[in-house]
Amino acid sequence: MSQQLTITIDGKQCTCEKGEYLLDVAKRNGIFIPTLCHHEGLGGIGSCRVCICEVVARGRSQVVTSCIYPVEGEIEVFTKNERIKEQRAIILALLHHLAPASETISQMAAFMGADLPRLADKEGGEKCILCGRCTTACEQIGTGAIAKCGRGVTKEIATPYHQPTAECIGCAACANVCPTGEITCEQTDESVTIWGKTFEYLRCSCCGEPFATREQYEFAASKRHLPADPDTAAATGQDPEPLCEACEKRATAQRLAKNSIQFVVEP
């Protein structure tokens, strides 16, 4: 059993486990902290700095990033005092001028950003705020097809040398987690085009719906140590036929119901 701590957030007493991230504690206690780069499935990245809070620990005050700040002691937290409001406002104004075309950022900036007309839009800036969700997702899936390239003010998200890459499996996880809609993919019933490459969809052998790209299916199969090619897999009986998520679920349930009597409790 890990150690329980009591901390104060905006004057409210909150209990948490030692090591829990401040953002999670605040959220559980109904205290809103705005976020951009944080994603439930990916964890904290700590790059956008929108979730900053002021933490006073043992009389020392510092500004921390709540999505990656582990609570280690009895601290006092301010999520929206004057200091934090000012800094968050400036950060949102900076993001707004980095990604002037993003609706999401414009709205957030209008709501709590500073109005700083002296700042200039980034040349060529559209919607990307370089939060790193896409690269984190790509890395966690295990393909690493896109990465943050360059450094400083020229940093960008790209495939190696901006060329279509063999690593990309067309899963579009990057587009799904993008908070501003900068990453887009063109989808048809037959294919999806992303990062300069077109991928053909596989169809579910049961319902016939397109459900994954061939590369994505092969990548997942390789992770399960199955023959990469779905046709070979079907022929050897190791993986009967490509099924979409819903059909796969149904098939599994039926298999369990047929074979595993011990799971079935007779009324």
Partner 1 sequence: MSKANASQSAPARQLLICCGTGCLANKAAAVAEALEAAIQAAGANAVVQPDALQLKRTGCNGFCENGPIVKIHPDDVSYYKVKPEHAEAIIASIGGEPYQALLYRGDDKQPVTRQQDNPFYAPQHKVALRNIGQIDPLAIEDYLTSGGYQALRKALAMPPARIIEEVIASGLRGRGGAGFPTGIKWQTCAGYQPTPKYVVCNGDEGDPGAFMDRSILEGDPHSVVEGLTIAALAIGAERGFFYIRDEYGLALHNVQAAIQAATAAGYLGDDILGSGRKLHLEIVRGGGAFVCGESTALMASIEGKVGEPRAKYVRSAERGLWDMPTVLNNVETLANIPYIIANGGAAYAKLGTEGSKGTKVFSLVGKVNRTGLVEVEMGATLRHLIYDIGGGIKRNRPFKAVQTGGPSGGCIPAEMLDLAVDFDSLTAKGAMMGSGGMIVMDDHDCMVEVARYYVNFLSEESCGKCTPCREGLRQMLRILTDITEGRGQQGDIELLERLANTIKDASLCALGKSAPNPVLSTIKHFRAEYEAHINEHSCPAGVCSALCVYTIAAESCTSCSACKRACPLGIISGEKGVPYSIDSERCIACGSCRDACRFDAVRPIKKERQVVAS
Q: Which stretch binds partner 1 (CB under 8 A): 58-66, 159-167, 174-182, 237-245?
A: 58-66
Length of the chain: 267
Site for partner 1 in 59-118 (CB under 8 A): 63-65, 68-70, 72, 83, 86-87, 90-91, 94-95, 97-98, 116, 118
Q: Does 154 bind partner 1 (CB under 8 A)?
A: yes
User: What is the residue type of 259?
Assistant: N
* 202 contributes a contact to partner 1 by CB under 8 A: no
222, two tokens: 């390789």
- Compare residues 119 and 251 and give the one whose CB is closer to partner 1: 119
Separation between Cα atoms, residue 262 and residue 267, nearest integer Å: 13
Contact of 52 with 68, CB cutoff 8 Å: no
Q: Which residues pair with 62 in a beta bridge?
A: 55
Whether residue 6 contacts residue 74, with contact meaning beta carbons closer than 8 Å, is answered with yes
From candidates 12, 18, 28, 155, binder to partner 1 by CB under 8 A: 155
**140 or 236: CB nearest partner 1:** 140
Please name the helix (run of DSSP H) or strand (run of DSSP E) that holds residue 182, with its range, or none. Answer: none
Rule CB under 8 A: is residue 122 a binding residue for partner 1?
A: yes
* Interatomic CA distance for residues 72 and 70, integer angstroms: 6
Helix (H, G, I), strand (E, B) or coil at 183: coil
Q: Please, what is the minimum distance in Å from the beta carbon of residue 154 to partner 1?
A: 8
**Among all chains, which residue has been given the structure tokens 């701590």?**
5
Nearer to partner 1, 132 or 170 (CB): 132
Shortest separation between residue 201's beta carbon and partner 1, angstroms: 32
Tokens, residue 4: 């329980």
Does residue 193 contact residue 185 with C-beta atoms inside 8 Å? yes
Which residues share a beta bridge with 260?
A: none
Site string for partner 1, 225-264 (x = CB under 8 A): ----------------------------------------
Binds partner 1 by CB under 8 A, chosen from 14, 75, 130, 175 = 130
> Minimum CB separation from partner 1 for residue 195, in Å?
19
Closest CA to 131 of 195, 181, 193: 181
- Least CB distance from residue 51 to partner 1, whole Å? 10
Judged by DSSP in three states, 100 sits in: coil
Q: Measure the CA–CA gap between 2 and 63, rounded to whole angstroms.
A: 26
Question: Does the protein bind partner 1 through residue 174 (CB under 8 A)?
Answer: no
Residue ranges that bind partner 1, judged by CB under 8 A: 46-50, 52, 63-65, 68-70, 72, 83, 86-87, 90-91, 94-95, 97-98, 116, 118-120, 122, 129-130, 132, 147-148, 150-155
